[in-house]
Amino acid sequence: MTSRTKTTGSLLPGDRNKNKHFLHPKSGTTWLSEILDAIYHDGNLEKCQRDAIYNRVPFLEMKIPGILSGVEQLEKTPSPRLVKTHLPVHLLPASFQEKDCKVIYMARNAKDVVVSYYYFYQMAKIHPDPGTLSEFLQAFMDGKVAYGSWYKHVKGWWEKRHEKRLLYLFYEDMKKDPWGEVQKILQFLDKEVADEMVARILHHTSFKEMKKNPTSNYETMPTTLMDHSLSPFMRKGMCGDWANHFTVAQNECFDRHYQQHMAGSDLCFQMEA
């Protein structure tokens, strides 16, 4: 589903108080989309099944020939609407701030992102063949993957984390304490949701439930776009899977590169399971 980044000139009319969520690809975008859709529908899980997640939460910069673009979808979506995007902060259209949109950014540790991205490149036909994992690791470190440098993406948004209308979250925290993280989201959105409803939302958005839910798991995408026989979209949904893929040499090389590119930043990630 990812495509090369494109900025839109401005937001669509009526976007004030709308909720955007930004993530580098493979960092829990679909998970967060499902949580937000459930929150915005007051935990009515039947309503959450009304369509596939990529139609319920349009993807701003998505443009594939023969399919409604993200902007066209958004034009048809009534307010209040949720918008998914992977844009890095420097490509954020000024209108996002002008229209007072709330933004939730979720970051995930680089090693798990690269493994998840590697499998996604194989199954999502919009991407070229990623080659071997070694080749893909090099491309990732060089920023030669869709959306460019992961380092710039997570650090760029991290620098903005104190802005009032931005909430910066971590995939690993959401895994460890989904209840606590959803409370942060609710507070940020000024929403009050009963504990019982939060419990239902968390069950509905658990990896196990989303994996078997055709409106969440992308299995309704044409196989010409996503081939789940090569890798399911909902693959493992865990922290630390990179350790099952990186060789010792690859890990050392990645760590050296990582330290250079994250030097001076106080942004820290949990890498282990």
Residues carrying an active site annotation: 86
Candidates 237, 253, 261, 271: give the one binding ligand A3P (CB under 6 A): 237
Candidates 69, 85, 205, 213: give the one binding ligand A3P (CB under 6 A): 205
CB atoms near residue 12 (< 10 Å): 17
- Interacting stretch for ligand A3P, rule CB under 6 A, among 8-16, 36-44, 140-148, 232-240? 232-240
User: Interior CA angle at 182 toward 178 and 187, to 5°?
Assistant: 155
Candidates 8, 19, 29, 73: give the one binding ligand A3P (CB under 6 A): 29
Q: Does 88 bind ligand A3P (CB under 6 A)?
A: no
Sheet holding 166-170, edge to edge: 82-85, 19-23, 102-107, 166-170
Give whichever of 24 and 99 is closer to ligand A3P, judged by the CB atom.
Answer: 24
**Residue 58 in contact with residue 77, Cβ under 8 Å?**
yes
DSSP 234: S
Residues 166-195 that bind ligand A3P (CB under 6 A): none
Minimum separation from the CB atom of position 10 to ligand A3P (A): 25
Q: Does 213 bind ligand A3P (CB under 6 A)?
A: no
DSSP 270: -
Residue with tokens 């419990």: 199
Q: How far apart are the first and last CA of the chain?
A: 27
Tell me what percent of the chain is helix, strand and coil, each rounded to the nearest 5: 45, 10, 50
Strands 82-85 and 102-107, sheet pairing: unpaired
Host H or E run for residue 12:
none
Candidates 19, 20, 22, 23: give the one binding ligand A3P (CB under 6 A): 23
Tell me which residue has its CB nearest to ligand A3P.
237
Give whichever of 32 and 74 is closer to ligand A3P, judged by the CB atom.
Answer: 32
Residues 30-49 that bind ligand A3P (CB under 6 A): 30-31
Q: Does 234 bind ligand A3P (CB under 6 A)?
A: yes
Contact positions vs ligand A3P (CB under 6 A): 23, 25-31, 112, 116, 119, 205-207, 210, 234-237, 241
